[in-house]
């Protein structure tokens, strides 16, 4: 009976690729291996709004990280195209975050910012250093050529992490299709509630540069956002604890300015 169960499980975990006829292990949409690394090496700060990554720990687990990246790189485009929208988004967000950690490790601990991994002619996000969906890719390809234009979901900006303190937090868990909506909303609420990056001061809403760089993503009507001020109104309770300020945010009467962005590495101990 145990042998029969094992055989059935093996069949469920493999598929025959039509072009090669070779057995291919089915992709784990629970992202269990990446989730385990995040649980081990990412910690929320006491306020629950920011997190820090233990890159020294990730470096010690480099083999496990490489196994995660190799599994992602092995997914054929035809397989990806057959997945549901949430499965695709979770895969791309996790790939962005995992390959960003790998990029940091190529020079860690001898760097203070991800920007040091770029040059005058090519940013760190334009470096082609991994394979995804059958071709050599860079991080910008995932964010700007896939996630942003294909899925019309502005909250992805609170999901992908650029290894910087100014960026929305790297979650201590993998994104999954089943939890995607809750994870996106939770990430957005945490980010909007972080007074170091988004806040009300006097008659101004002082917000992250992300909302200037990607303003168009918050003006496409998704979630009822036709302009950034609509987004600020939705998250008024996260932006301020004061009823008068919350009312002003909801009435959209505050002017908007953008805070400086902190590109320091989101490393533990910093």
What are 88-135's pLDDT values in tens digits? 999 999 999 999 999 999 999 999 999 999 988 899 999 999 999 999
What are 207-216's pLDDT values in tens digits? 999 999 999 9
* 267 occurs within a structural domain: no
Per mean pLDDT, which range of 60-64, 73-77, 112-116, 222-226 is the poorest?
222-226
* 59 occurs within a structural domain: yes
* 270 occurs within a structural domain: no
* 6 occurs within a structural domain: yes
* 56 occurs within a structural domain: yes
What are 69-80's pLDDT values in tens digits? 999 999 999 999
pLDDT confidence of residue 220: 79
| pLDDT over threshold 50, residue 86 | yes
Domain hosting 97: range is 2-258
pLDDT confidence of residue 121: 87
Computed over every residue of the chain, the mean pLDDT equals 91
* 144 occurs within a structural domain: yes
Per mean pLDDT, which range of 47-51, 218-222, 261-265 is the poorest?
218-222
pLDDT confidence of residue 120: 83
Q: Residue 80: which residues within 8 A CB-CB, separation 6 or more? A: 88, 91, 133
| pLDDT over threshold 70, residue 237 | yes
pLDDT confidence of residue 270: 64
Cα(126)–Cα(114) distance, rounded to whole angstroms? Answer: 12
Q: Indicate the pairing of strand 204-207 with strand 255-258.
A: parallel
Would you say the C-alpha torsion 237, 241, 246, 249 has a positive or negative sign?
negative
pLDDT confidence of residue 225: 81
pLDDT confidence of residue 21: 39
Total domain count, the chain: 1
Q: Residue 207: which residues within 8 A CB-CB, separation 6 or more? A: 197, 198, 199, 228, 232, 256, 257, 258, 259
pLDDT confidence of residue 226: 85
* 269 occurs within a structural domain: no
Q: Kindly report the CA angle at 174 between 144 and 162, in degrees rounded to 5?
A: 40
Q: At what angle do helices 85-105 and 180-192 cross, to 10 degrees?
A: 50
SS (H, E, C) the chain: CHHHHHHHHHHHCEEECCCCCCEEECCCCCCHHHHHHHHHHEEECCCCCCEEECHHHHHHCHHHHHHHHHHHHCCCHHHHHCCCHHHHHHHHHHHHHHHHHHHHHCCCCCCCEHHHHCCCCCCHHHCCCEEECCEEECHHHHHHHHHHHHHCCHHHHHCCCCCECCCCCCCCCCCCCCCHHHHHHHHHHHHHCCCCCCEEECCEEEECCHHHHCHHHHCCCHHHCCCHHHHHHHCHHHHCCCHHHHHHHHHCCCEEEECCCCCEECECCC
Cα(246)–Cα(184) distance, rounded to whole angstroms? Answer: 22
Number of CB atoms found within 10 A of residue 97's CB: 25
Mean pLDDT confidence for 195-222? 93
């Amino acid at each position: 009976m145990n042998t029969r169960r094992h055989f059935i499980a093996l069949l469920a975990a493999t598929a025959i690729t039509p072009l090669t006829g070779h057995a291919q292990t089915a992709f784990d949409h629970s992202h269990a291996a990446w989730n385990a690394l995040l649980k081990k090496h990412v910690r929320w700060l006491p306020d629950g709004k920011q997190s820090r990554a233990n890159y020294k720990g990730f470096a010690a687990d480099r083999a496990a990280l490489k196994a995660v990246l190799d599994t992602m790189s092995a997914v054929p485009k035809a397989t990806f195209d057959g997945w549901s929208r949430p499965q695709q988004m979770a895969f791309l967000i996790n790939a962005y975050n995992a390959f960003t950690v790998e990029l940091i490790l190529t020079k860690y601990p001898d760097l203070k910012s991800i920007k040091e991994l770029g040059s005058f002619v090519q940013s760190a996000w334009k470096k082609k250093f991994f394979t995804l969906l059958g071709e050599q890719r860079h991080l910008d390809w995932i964010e700007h050529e896939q996630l942003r234009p294909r899925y019309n979901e502005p909250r992805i900006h609170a999901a992908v992490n650029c290894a910087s303190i100014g960026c929305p937090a790297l979650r201590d868990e993998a994104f999954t299709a089943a939890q995607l909506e809750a994870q996106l909303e939770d990430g957005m609420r945490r980010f909007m509630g972080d007074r170091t990056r988004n806040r009300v001061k006097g008659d101004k809403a002082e917000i992250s540069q992300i909302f200037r760089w990607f303003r168009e993503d918050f003006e496409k009507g998704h979630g009822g956002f036709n302009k950034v001020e609509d987004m600020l109104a939705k998250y008024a309770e996260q932006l301020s604890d004061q009823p008068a300020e919350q009312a002003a945010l909801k009435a959209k009467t505050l002017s908007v300015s953008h805070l400086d962005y902190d590109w320091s590495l989101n490393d533990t101990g910093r």
